[in-house]
Structure formats: structure tokens, C-alpha cells
């Protein structure tokens, strides 16, 4: 492992030098890539320092035990040796995880989309519940959310809602939420008190930078229309809403959240870039999934991933067989325990694949 860490340190020193070079700073794409790499390597350097310190303490203690005659000094060395050996495995595991090549998408912001599925009005209400759950979770993480577009349900909630999430390692955290979410409960519209099953689909698109996806303006049809829904005097009176259609793929992105046509157009292009980027990413993930047979990142966007059962207060994630009887807190944004378990399973799979490195 020391050889591997020395190679990483060499790269860290190289990147540290590169990010202050004027030529690199002038190249925005390269500069962003290198600063992200520097940030990741800096965390690894901290672990390397701790690892080297523990190895040094072990060698020092073993030398004292082998040469020293003073019983008190030997006892102190044995204590030092025991403490260092106890701490070493945890540091080694942390380093192994950090040495796994990080997905470049993980550090990206995201565009999330929640769509009501089967279940009529109840599905729209559930989509609204999911949006509130994610909004509260993002707030607890210190991330910013910003609605791009929405279509309200007739009895509450949303038929569809799109929103941006920006912060640190957003995609790396929220990517596990993509898929079909089911709810089992007595709907507000049900008079007989029967439990119904409804569904909503969550999409998590890594937000593409301008240089990730280049869109030819000639291949995009732009339609302007009046905004609908709450919003004051500008609603239904000005053509501020924007719909973009990418002609080669048929992908559509629209935004009517802002009063400014220019801002709506800017947001819609951001969504379109993210959709195109996600399309390519999905192909890659499907290929990776076929190779790895991963439980978590299967690449299947239509897979049923989680059930929220209200009568039993139960939430079950079907990918890893995790069941928690804590529905109320989870719906109030306490998602971290689920995300941590999903991340642990995926990292364990990656460690198995990378075991030959060590």
C-alpha cells in the first residue's frame, strides 16, 4: 500500500503545481477537473499522513520492545504498539475506499424530476410528498434547491416537478434515489378506508456543464408560451415560458418558473444538456451493470426501488433488502441512514473488484 500511496503523493504534488499555472487557469474545463482532483487527493493525503504515522509508531515500539531493558519503557512501548495496531485497520479501509477511482459525475449538481405514476390523484399527492422529503433532506445537507418547472395535481401534489440541487457531492449522494417509488396507504380520496398502492418515478440527472455537452442551436426547436399556475400578473399574459425540443433525440425541456423569458430559456437549456448527458451516462451504467451485476447502480431507471407502507410505518429498499420502521422521520427528510447503507453496499462491491490492487 505504501508504494501505491507514494504514487498518489507524486500525483498530488504534480496537480498542486498545475493548478497555479496561468495556462491551466485559462483553460476552464481543465482547471475545474484539476481542482476537483486536488480536493479528492488532499483528503487521501491526510489519510496517508495518518497511515505513515501509525506505521512509524509500530516500528518504533517494536524496536523499543526488542532492545530496551527498562520494564517501564517496554510496558509503554507495548501500549503504543497495541493502540497503533488497533487504529491501523480502520485507516487502511478508509484508504482503500479513497483509492477506488471516483466517478467524475459524483461531484456534480443535479436536476431532479419527480413524476406521478400509477394511482391517479393519489400518485400526484405522493409525488408532492417525495418532493417535500427531498427538499427537507437537501436543506439538512446545506444544499440549495431551485424549482425549474412543475405541473400541479388536481387534488394536491404534482403531476410532475423538476428542481435543481446544488452543493457538495450532490449527484454522488442522490444518485441512489433514481427509480420507481411505491406508496401503500389509504388515499385522501378513498371513502371506504381501503389501502391503495400508487407510484412515482424519480429521475436524478447530473447537471452537465457547457463543455460536457455541446448543443448545436440549429438542432433545437424553441417554443415560447404563456406561463400557467400561480405567479401574479405575468401569468397567462406574457410569453415568458420556454420549451426546447432537441430534434435529433426528441428530448424536451421546458421552464416557466421565472418571469424572465431569458432566464427560463437558460434554465431549459441546462435541463436539456443534463438530459442528453444522462442519456449517455445511462448507456455507460448499463454496460457497467452488465459487467458488474451491481445491486445498487443497475442502470435500470424503471426498477421499483423502494416502498413506503403507511399502515405499518415501514420503508423498504428492495435493492438491498433494507427495512426501517421509521416512515414518519424518513418522509420528513431523514434519508441519510438509507443512503449510507446503499453507499456501503456499492463501495463493498467496488472494493471486491479492486482487491487485486492491494
How does strand 304-309 pair with strand 179-185? parallel
Instruction: Identify whether the C-beta of residue 154 lies closer than 8 Å to the C-beta of residue 88.
Output: no
Instruction: Identify whether the C-beta of residue 117 lies closer than 8 Å to the C-beta of residue 310.
Output: no
Buried b (16+ CB within 10 A) or exposed e, 160-192: bbbbbbeeeebbbbbbbbbbbbbbebebeeeee
Mean pLDDT of 220-246: 73
Q: Please give the pLDDT value at position 234.
A: 42
Looking at mean pLDDT, say which of 36-40, 168-172, 192-196, 330-334 comes out highest.
330-334
Statement: residue 342 has pLDDT above 80: yes
Taken in order of first residue, the domains within the chain and their CATH numbers are: 2-99 (no CATH), 104-349 (3.30.70.1660)
Looking at mean pLDDT, say which of 75-89, 127-141, 202-216, 243-257 comes out highest.
127-141
* 141 band by pLDDT with thresholds 50, 70 and 90: very high
Statement: residue 173 has pLDDT above 50: yes
Instruction: Identify whether the C-beta of residue 316 lies closer than 8 Å to the C-beta of residue 309.
Output: yes
Which strand ranges, in their side-by-side order, compose the sheet holding 196-206?
Answer: 144-152, 158-166, 110-116, 196-206, 179-185, 304-309, 314-317, 322-324
Statement: residue 84 has pLDDT above 90: yes
- Cα angle vertex 107, ends 304, 278, to 5°? 50
Residue 232: CB partners within 8 Å, gap ≥ 6?
Answer: none
Q: Please give the pLDDT value at position 136.
A: 97
Buried b (16+ CB within 10 A) or exposed e, 38-54: bebbeebbebbebbeeb
The least confident of 133-147, 162-176, 250-264, 340-354 is: 340-354
Q: Please give the pLDDT value at position 281.
A: 80
* 232 band by pLDDT with thresholds 50, 70 and 90: very low
* 229 band by pLDDT with thresholds 50, 70 and 90: low
Per-residue pLDDT tens over the stretch 261-306:
888 898 899 889 888 988 888 777 676 555 545 545 544 556 799 9
Q: Please give the pLDDT value at position 95.
A: 86
Amino acid at each position: 500500500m505504501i508504494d501505491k500511496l507514494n504514487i498518489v503523493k507524486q500525483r498530488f504534488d504534480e496537480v498542486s503545481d498545475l493548478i497555479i499555472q496561468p495556462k491551466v487557469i485559462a483553460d476552464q474545463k481543465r482547471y475545474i477537473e484539476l481542482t476537483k482532483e486536488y480536493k479528492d487527493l488532499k483528503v487521501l493525503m491526510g489519510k496517508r499522513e495518518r497511515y505513515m504515522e501509525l506505521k512509524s509508531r509500530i516500528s518504533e515500539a517494536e524496536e523499543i520492545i526488542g532492545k530496551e531493558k527498562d520494564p517501564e519503557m517496554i510496558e509503554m512501548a507495548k501500549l503504543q504498539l497495541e493502540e497503533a495496531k488497533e487504529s491501523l485497520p480502520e485507516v487502511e479501509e478508509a484508504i482503500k475506499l479513497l483509492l477506488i477511482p471516483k466517478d467524475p459525475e459524483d461531484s456534480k449538481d443535479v436536476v431532479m424530476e419527480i413524476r406521478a405514476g400509477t394511482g391517479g390523484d393519489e400518485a400526484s399527492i405522493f409525488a408532492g410528498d417525495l418532493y417535500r422529503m427531498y427538499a427537507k433532506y437537501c436543506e439538512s445537507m446545506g444544499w440549495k434547491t431551485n424549482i425549474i418547472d412543475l405541473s400541479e395535481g388536481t387534488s394536491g401534489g404534482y403531476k410532475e416537478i423538476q428542481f435543481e440541487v446544488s452543493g457538495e457531492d450532490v449527484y454522488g449522494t442522490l444518485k441512489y434515489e433514481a427509480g420507481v417509488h411505491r406508496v401503500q396507504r389509504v388515499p385522501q380520496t378513498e371513502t371506504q378506508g381501503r389501502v391503495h398502492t400508487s407510484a412515482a418515478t424519480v429521475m436524478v440527472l447530473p447537471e452537465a456543464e457547457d463543455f460536457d455537452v455541446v448543443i448545436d442551436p440549429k438542432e433545437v426547436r424553441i417554443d415560447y408560451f404563456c406561463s400557467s399556475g400561480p405567479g401574479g400578473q405575468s401569468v397567462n399574459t406574457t410569453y415568458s415560458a420556454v420549451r426546447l425540443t432537441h430534434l435529433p433525440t426528441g428530448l424536451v425541456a421546458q421552464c416557466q418558473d421565472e418571469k424572465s423569458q431569458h432566464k427560463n430559456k437558460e434554465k431549459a437549456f441546462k435541463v436539456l444538456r443534463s438530459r442528453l448527458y444522462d442519456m449517455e451516462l445511462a448507456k455507460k451504467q448499463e454496460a457497467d451493470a452488465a459487467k458488474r451485476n451491481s445491486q445498487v447502480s443497475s442502470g435500470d431507471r424503471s426498477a421499483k426501488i423502494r416502498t413506503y407502507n403507511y399502515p405499518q410505518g415501514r420503508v423498504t429498499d428492495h435493492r438491498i433488502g433494507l427495512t426501517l420502521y421509521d416512515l414518519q422521520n424518513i418522509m420528513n427528510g431523514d434519508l441519510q441512514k438509507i443512503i449510507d447503507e446503499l453507499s456501503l453496499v456499492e463501495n463493498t462491491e467496488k472494493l471486491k473488484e479492486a482487491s487485486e490492487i492491494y
